[in-house]
Amino acid sequence: MLPSGFRASQRAIVFDLDGTLVDSVPDIHAAAAAFLIERGLQPLDLATITGFVGNGVPMLLERVLRAAGQDADPQSVAAALPRFNAIYGAAPAALSRLYPGVATALARLGEAGFALGICTNKPEAPARRMVKDLGIAGFFAALTGGDTLAQRKPDPAPLHHTVALLGVAPDAVVYVGDSEVDAATAAAAEVPFVLFTEGYRKTPVEAIAHHAPFSDFAILPEVLARLAATAVPRP
């Protein structure tokens, strides 16, 4: 249960996906390895691929190509993108797993009356397949992917779009993510940001602007309750 007397009313929580709800790097790493092997190249290690995640697939692929010693100009990335998307899209959740406590936390938040959404830089089709395959699609009333709009995070447009789909006021939203990109997105959208500290961030927690941190989804409802009970200054 959430804290006594706490109930969301016309409020929403929007989540990032990769590194926030789902540890998805194993599938991204497998897709990148298969892509490079097809080209006669050596796969990159898991840690390297983890460092490439967060800015969308085109940027990921640019970094993969560059790290493999290949041309990584916009034309080369655009030419390679359909094949990479096909490899990854065939099984985006085969190796991915929810972080511990995610499903329970989502259920508690839904029962408390929050509208829930996802705003991710992962392309929309594999994002939808991932949440379906991992059994959490039913919790979400909206999902915006990295190719849903012309803009991607940290541009605030995808988060604003998700909020509009949820039908709540912009000042009734909290964004939950794991990275510098997510923090910048929340700041640009002028919404509070809650940082999941166990994801794919590249810098120390204290270097990322946030209103509240958490490392365990079991405490997320209480973190959100405390945030809702206080005036939220900008980070």
List pLDDT tens digits, range 84-95: 999 999 999 999
Has 16 been annotated as catalytic? yes
Pairing mode of beta strands 142-144, 173-177 = unpaired
Q: Is pLDDT of 9 > 70?
A: no
Tokens of 17: 């996906």
* Catalytic entry in 16, 18, 27, 182: 16
Backbone angles phi, psi at 79, to 5 degrees: -70, -35
170-213 per-position pLDDT tens digit: 889 999 999 999 999 999 999 999 999 999 999 999 999 999 99
Q: Is pLDDT of 2 > 90?
A: no
- The mean predicted confidence, pLDDT, of the chain is 92
Q: Which pLDDT value is given to residue 227?
A: 86
**Residues pairing with 176 in the sheet:** 15, 194
Q: Is pLDDT of 214 > 60?
A: yes
Please give the residue that has the higher pLDDT: either 232 or 137.
137
Hey, is 206 helix, strand or coil?
helix
In the chain the beta strands, taken as DSSP E runs, fall at 12-15, 22-23, 97-98, 115-119, 142-144, 173-177, 193-196, 212-214
Mean pLDDT of 60-77: 96
Q: Is pLDDT of 234 > 90?
A: no
Mean pLDDT of 50-54: 91
Q: Which pLDDT value is given to residue 1?
A: 38
Q: Which pLDDT value is given to residue 170?
A: 87
Q: Which pLDDT value is given to residue 231?
A: 52
Q: How far apart are CA 36 and CA 92, in angstroms?
A: 17
Mean pLDDT of 8-13: 76
